[in-house]
Structures are given as structure tokens and as C-alpha cells.
Structure 1
Amino acid sequence: MRALREEYEVTNPAEGLVDLLDLERIEVNIFRGRSPQESLQRVFGGQVAGQALVAAGRTVEDARPVHSLHAYFLRPGRPGVPIVYEVERVRDGRSFTTRRVKAVQEGRTIFALTASFHRPEEAAFAHQRPPRHLTDPESLPRLADEIRDHLGALPEALERMARRQPFDIRYVERLRWSPEEVRGADARSAVWMRAVGPLGDDPLVHTCALTYASDMTLLDAVRIPVEPLWGPRGYDLASLDHAMWFHRPFRADEWFLYDQESPIATGGRGLARGQIFDREGRLLVSVVQEGLFRAL
């Protein structure tokens, strides 16, 4: 649960996520974001990506929606240290707006993002491959409950983190807990997710909240044939880069299905691809990420 916040108690963790994405504007193109103090070695990558996208979006005057982002995680961020986001206004066109964002912490660039925004227009044509048939979220256990049922009780640290988790996560397939169960497993994973409370009505907040969530489970698909996801981990992992394409409007506080797969892992790196669908089976977002995997 590397995305779980450990700094403060909130009545509704979704409110904490909205607060985390509410950047302080300190100049026309410069913003500052909080980085909560936590026990992790590095700042959660989804937090930095979500905050950087907020910074980019706040400089787009006509509020046109983002249609893609491409990002690199350059250095690990330090928890508890504010992050400054510097936005470059690359292009303001009639149909497309382009922004580049640098995330700077203690004078060093830790993250770089390019985002493109597209004015909605009439489609010349449309098509979409249907999603796999998967179980409805209500019939699945919450992640914390599934872990609690297996272990008998959540360890105290996980219990605290679960209370702060801004997303309800439910794995479509049961978790594997032993090397025997993992052996021969397909490098594929799917989870239902939604924010645990309302996120308001700003479409940019929902886009950035889903960007945050997109980094929470995607690299699971790389690890599934190697080791149990929630047992002792034999590998250190870090996100290297992240790309997203936003196809349709959505709300991150409504159920969405994150279908994830890994076509390859080699040379210390693993590639994962994800597709995010709504309950009606409409494709909302496509995601690709590469991660670094090193034996502990």
C-alpha cells in the first residue's frame, strides 16, 4: 500500500486527497504542493503526477480537458518536504494547449511532465474494443478486508494506513499468498476502484485524482508471476515513467475498473499497460508505465 498517507487524520480520506491536490499559487506559473510526512522512503509517484497535472491545468485559461500526459520520475522525492511545480506554457492553440511541468524539491528536479489539453470537438468516427467480462465491485471484498481475513488482523501500521486510504480498492481475482499460487500465474491484474467520498465537481480534480490512483496498482501486473503481492517483498521497485490518454469525461468518486497487464519484464525493468473502464464498459483512460525492479 505504497500510496497510503500517514501524516494526518481526516474524517473522509477523499477530502484529504482533494486538499493534497489544492496547490498554492506562488507566481503566475509556479505552484507549491504539500508532501505529507510518511514512513515511506520516497514520495508516492501518483501524488507528484497528480499535483503536476493540477499545476498544468490551472494555467489553461479556457479549462479545456487534458487528453494526454507523458511523465518521467527522475529522482525520489522526500516525504515531508514541499514540492514546487514550475509550468512552461509551450503552446496555446485553437484546438490544443501544451504545458511542460518540472517538479522541484530542495533545488533538484525530481519529476518532469508534458501534458496536452484538447478542446472538445465532434468526432469523425468512433469505435472501442469491449472490456473483459468481470465481476461487479459490490460482490468483491475490500482490499483491507481481504488482507485482514487472511492474516486474522491487520498489522497496526497497515490498519492506520487503511483508514487514510483515499480509494476503495477491490481486486477482481483473489490475492495469491504463496509461491505455489504465484507460479505460472498470468501477468495480469484487475481492480475496481473509486474515491471513498465525494471529490466535488471540478473535472480537473477528478482527472488528477485518477492520475494519482493510476500509479497505485499498475506495477502489480509485473510482479504477479514472481511473488505474492501482499507478502514479504523480494524486490525493490520504483516507477520510471508514466503515460496516460484520457478518452472520455469521468468521475473518480464513481466505480471504475482498472484492467492491467504486463507484456514483459527484463533487464531490471517491467512494462505494464492498463485500461480504465466505467461500469457501462466505456473506455475512459489508457495507461502505460515502466518500473525498475531490483532484488533486495
Structure 2
Amino acid sequence: MAPPHRTPSRGRTDRKSGISGPSRRTLLAGVAALGALGAAGCSRVATASDTEGGDLLDRLRAQGVARLGIAGEIPFGYIDKDGELTGEAPELAKVIFKRLGVDRVQPVPTEFGSLIPGLASQQFDVVAAGMYINPERCEQVIFSDPDYQMLDSFIVRKGNPLGLHDYRDVVEKKARFATGTGYAEIAYAVEAGYEESDILIVPDQVAGLNAVEAGRVDVFAGTALTTREVVKKSGKAEVTEAFKPIVDGEPHVDGGGFCFRPTETSLRDAFNEELHQLKESGELLRILRPFGFTDDEMTDLTAKELCGG
């Protein structure tokens, strides 16, 4: 997901008039009632456990439903035009939780920046929003191994008049720069030398596209996947070639996964086991392909590596 802001070393989910489908704000509004109805209809709410490794998986099996924190971001996790939960993370969650003996999943919408706090306060059982795995977040939650890897790219005006191909270009050419709320791209731009106070923060990639098309900014930074999807219907903007941002002086590749409360290692481990089987069989790519993922986004990175451990 273009992903959220961290100190240089990690978006988005994180991550709308440029692509088919509603905006994140519209999506959140549209699913709020659905989440509220689902919560009201659930008579048993998972609570914290002192059991070593946690007993959440057993309780989810008994309830028959797992609550997924989503951020209404195409293609990571959203409600489609028919009112159905979809996106790369929810579709993968449906498959894995079914294999784990949990029959269905229920969306709980929130803003991207509220996902980890919402998980901690038990508003939902797992974050299924394509969240980037980075050391800062690893201090707060535990992650599955990533189900995808991601590079960055820019939305620019047609023809890329300023010749912007990476964050160093943005700094050197004094380009007007925008990215999304909480996105990792904030830190990448700052590491390249851009003043954080000069960054225009917008809600999502559609707002970023609109800002570029309207000439309010020269460039919007996001994940390669979300930027290439959002410009498909634009007649004024294009997406640059994907590139690796520089983190601590080295080219960096991000990876996104699911996150769990730190006490729930048993659920995380069981989830990882199923995820690895899907990777080995090739089924993972088949699940993610409808959302724009390609073989280039498949990865053998581990959460431990991305957490810096």
C-alpha cells in the first residue's frame, strides 16, 4: 500500500477520479455502516489473552468470522461498486482464513493512519491493507511475511516536462512535490533532501493525480502499482518508470503484509504457513493478479528482514 510515513529505513494500501471506483473517502463512508452493522451483529468480540502465543485463532474459529481492518484503498482493500469486500489483502485473507478454519471475514473501515491504533484497541483482529513492513511499525505490531514487494513511481504531467525520475531529481529541480497522508514516500523525499514542510500532503493517489493535472504540484509519489492504476484514465498525466528509493544510502525495496497484535504469534505463524504454501504453489499470484500485481511484485523477502532483524 503506498504506505505510511516512517523514519527512513520503510506505503498504501498506503493509498480517486482517475480510476474506476470510488475515492477512499467515499469508500470509507460507504463501508462505515457495513462495519457498524457487522459489529452490532457479532455477539462475541475477541479480547486479549494471556495464553502464550495467544488464542485468537481458536476464538476466531469458534466465532466463524475474522474482522479485517481496511483503509478503503484500491487495490489493497476496499468495497467495490456492488458493496462487496475485495482487494488484494482481503481476497488473500479470505483464502487463508478459510484454510485456517475461519469461514468468513468482515471489513472494518478506518483511515490508514488509524489501522495500527485500531488493531491495538481490538477494533479488528488483523490489518489487511497491504501495509508496508518497516522497523518503526515492527516495534508496535507483528507482521506476516510480505505477500508482495513494491517499488515507487511518480505521477507527472504528460511528457514529464521536468524530467523527474527519482527523489534526487525532485530536490535538484525544486519540483513541487506531493504524496499521501502517512505515506512512506514522505520519508524517502526527506532523505533525498526535500524539506518536509514543503511537501503537499493529500488524502490519496486520486487527490495526487488531481493535483498534478490541475498544476498545483509537479509530481505525486506513490507505489508503482497504485500510480500506474490511477493514471489509466488520465489524459493529462502519466506515470514514470518504477524505481527503488534510497534508504540509509542504499536502494530499497518495500514489502507489504498483514499485521497482528504482538501477543498473537500463534495466529501469525499459522497465517505464515498458509501464505508460504500459496507462494510455492503459485496460487498467490493468481489471487493477486486481478488487482494489477505481476510476477515483479512477488517476493521471497521476510518480515524479519524488513523489520531490520
TM over 0.5: no
> Quick one: higher RCO (CA 8 Å, sep 6+), 1 or 2?
2
**Of Structure 1 and Structure 2, which has the larger fraction of its residues in strand?**
1
**Of Structure 1 and Structure 2, which has the larger fraction of its residues in helix?**
2
